[in-house]
Amino acid sequence: MYEFVNRIVRVLKKIVPEPLVRVLRPAYHRALAFLMALSYGFPARRLTIIGITGTKGKSTTAEMLFTILRGAGYSTALISTIRFAINDLSEPNLYKMTLQGRGFAQAFMRKALRAGCTHAVIEITSESVPQHRHLFLNLDGLIVTNIQREHIESHGSFENYVAAKRAIVRTLSRSPKHARILVANEDIPESRSFLSMRGTRAIGFSAHELDIRENDDAHVIFTYAGIPVTVPLPGKFNALNALAAMKMSSTLGISVPDAARALAHLPVVRGRVERIDSGQDFLAIVDYAHTPDSLQALYDAFPKRRKICVLGNTGGGRDVWKRPLMGKIADEACDKVILTNEDPYDEDPRGIVDAMARDMERAPEIIMDRRAAIRAALTYARAGDAVLISGKGTDPFIMEAHGAKTPWSDAQVVREELARLHAQN
C-alpha cells in the first residue's frame, strides 16, 4: 500500500496545479493519515507506543529506550532518524527524514506486529506535524527531551515551532490508550509548560537530579534512585538522555537496576558522538550536532583534549540566524577550526561558510570539499587530540542545488582517510 500511494502521489504532482495543491494539502494529509492507518488495521492499537520528540537528543534517547526494552525481554521496534529496527533486524534510514509520510509508520508497525513485537519506539519531529504524520500513532507515552531554537524558517517562528511540539503532546493527551505518560525536560521553560497539559500522567526530569560520579570522553556515570548507571557515551547531556529513558521505562514496569544493566551495554549510536577507531593515537568523533547548544555540548564533552573541529551548518535555506553563532562557538572552543560544505541545497555553499566565519576572531581554514576538510583535520591531529566532525551524523547524502544529492557518510570517509594515513606512514 505504501509504495502504491507513492506512485499515485507522483502522478498527481504532475497534473494538479500548485495553487490547488496548497489549498487541499492539509485535508489531504489528514485524510491520508486516517486511510493508511485504516488500511493497515490500526496497528498502533495493539502495540505499546512510546514517542520521542524534542530539538536534540531524540535519536540517542530512542536508542537508549529501545535497548532497555530489549534488555527487559520485550520484542521491540524502532523508527528513528538513524535507522529502522525490529529486534535484531536493522536497516539505515536513508530518507533524510525522520518520520516518513504516506503511511510508512503504519506499514512498519504492521510489519512489527507480524514479527511479534509488543512495543515500538518512534521519533516524532515538529516537521511531521503539518503533514499530520503524528496522528493515529495511539501513543502510550511520550518523551520530550528539550526545546531549543530550530527549524525557524520552516515553521515561520519559534512560537510556531513550540506549537508544533505542543501538538505532539496534545496527541498523547487525546490518545485512546489509558497510560498517556509524559516525560518532559523541566529545565526548559517550553517543555516544562507541557507538563501541565491535561489528560497525561506528567513526569519531569532535570539535570539537578543527576548525581554524576564520573564523566570522561568515553562514558558518563551517575546515580539514579541509589543505583549507579554507566552510559558508554560522554557528556552530561547523555546522562540526561539516559535519565529520561529510565523514567519512562520505570512506568512500563522495568526496574531501575534492569534499566541500568541494559544501558551499560548500549550499542554504538551511529553518528552520535560516534568514535571511529582505526588504531590511531587520537580521537576521531562523528556527531550530528546541528544547533548551537548541541555543538557546545559536544565540545564540552572533551575538556582536556586539544580539539580540531570540522563543521558546516545544518543546510541551505534554513536557520540562517545560527550560522555566525556556531562559528563563534567553534572559534572559542576549538584549537583549530575547519569550515566546510554540508547541505547547501540551492544556496551558495561558500556564502553559508562565510556567514559562519563572520564573528570568528581567528580566521578559520576553509576547505569546501568535505572529504578534503576531514583529511586535513586528521592530518593535523597529534597524539591525544580530538578531531570532532559535526553536522552530518548519519545523514546519507550531501544535499545540493536543484535536488541533486551526493551519497555520503562522515564515518566511512573518516575510516577511509585514516586508512590512507596509515598506509602513508
What is the mean pLDDT of the segment spanning 352-370? 97
Beta bridge partners of 215: 220
Instruction: Name the percent of the chain in helix, strand, coil, to the closest 5.
Output: 45, 20, 40
CA 3/CA 167 separation, integer angstroms: 28
Measure the N-to-C terminal CA separation of the chain; round to a whole number of Å. 54
Question: pLDDT tens digits for 83-140?
Answer: 999 999 999 999 888 888 878 999 999 999 999 999 999 999 998 888 888 899 999 9
Residue 30's pLDDT is 84
Evaluate if pTM is beyond 0.75: yes
Rounded distance between C-alpha atoms, residue 65 and residue 121, angstroms = 8
Given its phi and psi angles, is residue 100 left (phi above 0), alpha (psi -120 to 50 degrees) or beta?
A: beta
Which cell is 318 given? 534554513
Return the higher-pLDDT residue of 148 and 361: 361
How far from 86 is each of 91, 121, 272, CA to CA, in Å? 9, 10, 21
Please tell me the distance from the alpha carbon of residue 237 to that of residue 73, in angstroms, as a whole number.
27
Judged by DSSP in three states, 158 sits in: helix
The strand pair at 307-311 and 336-339 is best described as parallel
Residues written for the chain = 425
Burial letters for 133-144: b for 16+ Cβ neighbours within 10 Å, e otherwise?
bbbbbbbbbbbb
Assess whether pLDDT exceeds 80 at residue 74: yes
* Mean per-residue pLDDT, 315-332: 93
Domains of the chain: 2-264 (3.40.1190.10), 274-424 (3.90.190.20)
Render pLDDT for 148-204 as a digit per residue (tens, 0 to 9): 887 777 788 999 999 999 999 999 999 999 999 999 999 999 999 999 999 999 999
Q: What per-residue confidence (pLDDT) applies to 46? A: 98
Q: Which residue has the cell 573518516?
A: 414
Give DSSP secondary structure letters for 167-220.
HHHHHHHT-SSS--EEEEETTSHHHHHHTT-TTSEEEEE-GGG-EEEEE-SS-E
Residue 419's CB is within 10 A of a number of other CB atoms, namely: 11
What does the longest C-alpha to C-alpha distance in the chain come to? 63
Between CA 359 and CA 31 the distance in angstroms is 47
